[in-house]
């Protein structure tokens, strides 16, 4: 009888504990996302939290979401708030779509999740974090084309989204991958605890070098001189390629900046790399726009609208797209028809896309020091 009473008491305490956990949000499936995280972007949570946070219970719950959402092929979807509590339907989605073929590098996806897992493993030696990280790394190696480029989405899709199979510089997709690989083979601090094998580091170095080869091979040459790049290039011909209906083949004033900064970070650059940087810088200098600023105004109906104003004191800007023949800036609505000014395109595209950029300014600021360093290292 005494043993029966003890069992009943234990069952009672277990039931109370379960009820308490479910009402206070401490079970894995029912946890309430702290307000601190709700107000942050996934990018900030993944890589910019205080170091000690990655050793917290909150971080472990987020890690469970990241593990759950990894595709069997090794990558992740984009634009997902993995730091928020998953509803039952969301959990079902990730479980049921694990075997769905394909993942992406768009908008920092896959690289961001892997950086998060590396931070987690540096504090909590859960082998699942390491295995998930290595699986993601293999996905990166597998997705690289023989010519050294990476698509936005892999395996390549068909139909209306087939453009995601182009070599993708758009939104710095390929640059992000290559910077990450460099961190791997140089054994950057957050990866030390993973004890990545020398063979994998060598694979990362080779993948990076092949990526550089692709960058040099896709640089647009005009009259024998290197200029800049398109936001995406054909994976076979390497020619500038179209993506969405308003993203036409062009000289890119935006994505090209990230590519040049990557090249400028290479120690002991070859003469070919130096020529690539010099050519791109000359193009940036020639094609900068001075005397304008981009401003958002409120219309009579309360809507916000983006306009271009004259301002002789404004810093230089560059267009996102320049025509490959005339070298003139152009703008597009979803009909894909080129316009000469932003005010000529639809309200939706005018305000839903970045048509001007100041990204090359960072290149021009760094260039003099880079130029002096490369001359001294001859």
Q: Give me the long-range contacts of 233-237 (CB less than 8 A, separation at least 24).
A: 233/149, 233/166, 233/167, 233/169, 234/166, 234/167, 235/145, 235/147, 235/149, 235/151, 235/156, 235/165, 235/166, 235/167
Helix extents (H) in 242-328 = 255-264, 271-286
What DSSP line would sit under 224-249, residue for residue?
Answer: TEE----SEE-TTT--B---STT--S
Tell me the two tokens of residue 326: 């005339």
Residue 101 — pLDDT band, cuts 50, 70, 90? confident
CB 101 within 8 A of CB 157: no
Distance CA 345, CA 353 (A): 11
Angle between helices 255-264 and 173-185 (to 10 degrees): 20
Instruction: Classify burial at 140, counting beta carbons within 10 Å of its beta carbon; exposed 0-12, middle 13-18, buried 19 or more.
Output: buried
Question: Of 237, 242, 238, nearest to 338 (Cα)?
Answer: 242
Residue 336: its pLDDT value, please? 98
Question: Of 67, 75, 193, nearest to 136 (Cα)?
Answer: 75
Distance CA 121, CA 63 (A): 10
Q: Is the pLDDT of residue 219 over 60?
A: yes
107 is a catalytic site residue? yes
pLDDT digits (tens, 9 = 90+) for 68-77: 999 999 999 9
Q: Is the pLDDT of residue 119 over 80?
A: yes
- % residues pLDDT > 70 (the chain): 91
Residue 108: its pLDDT value, please? 97
- % residues pLDDT > 90 (the chain): 86
Which pairing describes strands 225-226 and 221-222: parallel, antiparallel, or unpaired?
antiparallel
Q: Is the pLDDT of residue 14 over 80?
A: no
Q: Is the pLDDT of residue 4 over 90?
A: no
Assign domain 219-378 to a CATH class: mainly alpha
Among 91, 205, 213, 244, the one annotated catalytic: 244
CATH 1.50.10.20 in the chain: give the residue spans.
Answer: 31-211, 219-378
Only one residue has tokens 């030696």, namely: 125
Residue 35 — pLDDT band, cuts 50, 70, 90? confident
CB 46 within 8 A of CB 113: yes
Residue 32 — pLDDT band, cuts 50, 70, 90? low
196 three-state secondary structure: coil
Largest CA distance in the chain: 96
Residue 12: its pLDDT value, please? 45
| Centroid of chain to Cα 152 | 10
Q: Is the pLDDT of residue 330 over 90?
A: yes
Residue 31: its pLDDT value, please? 53
**Cβ neighbours of residue 332 under 8 Å, at least 6 residues apart?**
245, 246, 247, 248, 321, 338, 339, 345, 349
Distance CA 281, CA 274 (A): 11
* Four-way CATH pick for 31-211: 1.20.210.10, 1.10.10.60, 2.40.30.10, 1.50.10.20: 1.50.10.20
176 is a catalytic site residue? no
Among 55, 107, 210, 351, the one annotated catalytic: 107
Distance CA 28, CA 62 (A): 10
């Amino acid at each position: 009888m005494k043993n029966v009473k003890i069992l009943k008491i234990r069952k009672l305490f277990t039931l109370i504990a379960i009820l308490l956990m479910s009402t206070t949000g401490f079970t894995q499936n029912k946890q309430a996302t702290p307000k601190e995280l709700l107000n942050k972007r996934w990018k900030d949570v993944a890589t910019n939290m205080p170091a000690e946070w990655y050793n917290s219970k909150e971080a472990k719950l987020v890690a469970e979401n990241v593990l759950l959402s990894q595709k069997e092929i090794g990558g992740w979807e984009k634009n997902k708030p993995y730091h928020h509590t998953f509803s039952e339907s969301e959990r079902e989605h990730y479980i049921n779509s694990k075997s769905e073929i394909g993942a992406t590098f768009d908008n920092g996806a896959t690289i961001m999740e892997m950086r998060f897992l590396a931070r987690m493993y540096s504090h909590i030696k859960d082998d699942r974090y390491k295995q998930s990280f290595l699986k993601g790394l293999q996905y990166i190696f597998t997705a690289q084309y023989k010519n050294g480029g990476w698509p936005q989405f892999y395996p390549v899709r068909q139909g209306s989204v087939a453009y995601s199979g182009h070599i993708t510089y758009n939104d710095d997709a390929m640059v992000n991958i290559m910077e990450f690989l460099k961190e791997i083979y140089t054994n950057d601090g957050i990866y030390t605890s993973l004890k990545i094998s020398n063979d994998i580091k060598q694979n990362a170095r080779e993948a990076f070098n092949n990526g550089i080869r692709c960058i040099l091979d896709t640089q647009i040459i005009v009259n024998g001189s290197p200029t800049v790049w398109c936001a995406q290039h054909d994976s076979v011909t390497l020619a500038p390629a179209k993506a969405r209906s308003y993203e036409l083949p062009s000289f890119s004033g935006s994505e090209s900046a990230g590519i040049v900064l990557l090249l400028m970070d290479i120690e002991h650059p070859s003469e070919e790399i130096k020529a690539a940087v010099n050519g791109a810088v000359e193009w940036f200098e020639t094609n900068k726009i001075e005397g304008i600023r981009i401003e958002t105004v409120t219309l009579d109906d309360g809507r916000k609208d983006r306009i271009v104003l004259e301002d002789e004191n404004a810093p230089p800007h560059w267009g996102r797209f320049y025509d490959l023949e005339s070298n003139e800036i152009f703008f597009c609505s979803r009909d894909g028809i080129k316009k000469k000014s932003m005010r000529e395109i639809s309200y939706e595209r005018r305000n839903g896309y970045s048509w001007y950029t100041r990204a090359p300014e960072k290149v021009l600021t760094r260039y003099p020091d880079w130029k002096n360093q490369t001359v001294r290292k001859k």
